Homo-oligomer: A and B are copies of this chain.
Amino acid sequence: MKKIIPTETRKQEIFATSAKLFKEKGYSAVTMRDLAQTLGIKAASLYNHIHSKQEILSHIILSIAEEFTEGMTQILNSKESSIQKLKKIIILHVEITSNNSNGMASLNNDWMHLEEKQDYYLELRLNYEDNFRSIIKQGIASNELKAVDPDVTLFSILSTLRSLYLWIPKKEEINKDVLAGNLGEVLLDGINK
């Protein structure tokens, strides 16, 4: 009796496996044969589930980007201190990265290989950074944060949060809340005694 996998499940499996391979070698270096072989099928069979390699990349990156956009919107609408908003942003990154660390690699490193959807992705990213920066500026204005160059602060925190995908998979034993807490300490309070 032949094992039949429903298309929708197979499609999710293709996205997940692709993200894993894209993280290891990057979008351009992963061939449809690599992907098929990892899934235990032939390359041609992939096209019964997806239309193109580009569609895979598009789905991986944009689904995460929209998740970040949604999270940022909720944080902006919450009536809390700037420090609390920054902590919520840290939690947002830990949460999304924990659930999809492979996809985060594509979002960080392979967005430039997006074709039709690249402009849309860049728009989401720019808006996200603008909102992030506005929270930092608000924190400085309300005297919660030190008056360091907001761009340096944004760059520093965001660089760390964007690199979480490299680090979280190696720290599986650690609790997400503990990690977010430690990151909040280091990123907000510093390490100098």
* Chain A interface (Cβ < 8 Å from any Cβ of B): 24-26, 28-29, 83, 109-110, 112-113, 136, 139, 143-146, 148-149, 151-153, 155-156, 159-160, 162-163, 166-167, 171, 179, 182-183, 185-193
Contacts and interface: CB of A to CB of B under 8 A. Distances in A.
Contact of A193 (B26, B146, B156, B182): B146
B113 A29 contact: yes
Contacts of A155: 160, 163, 167
Nearest to A187: B156
Which secondary structure dominates where chain A touches chain B? helix
B183 A156 contact: yes
Nearest to A152: B182
A188 B183 contact: no
Oligomeric state, in copies: 2
Contacts of A144: 192-193
Contact of A153 (B25, B136, B191, B193): B191
A148 B182 contact: yes
B160 A112 contact: no
A179 B110 CA distance: 28
Contacts of A156: 160, 183, 186-187
* 10 nearest CB pairs, A to B: A190-B190, A159-B163, A28-B28, A28-B29, A189-B190, A159-B160, A188-B192, A152-B182, A156-B160, A156-B186
A143 B191 CA distance: 11
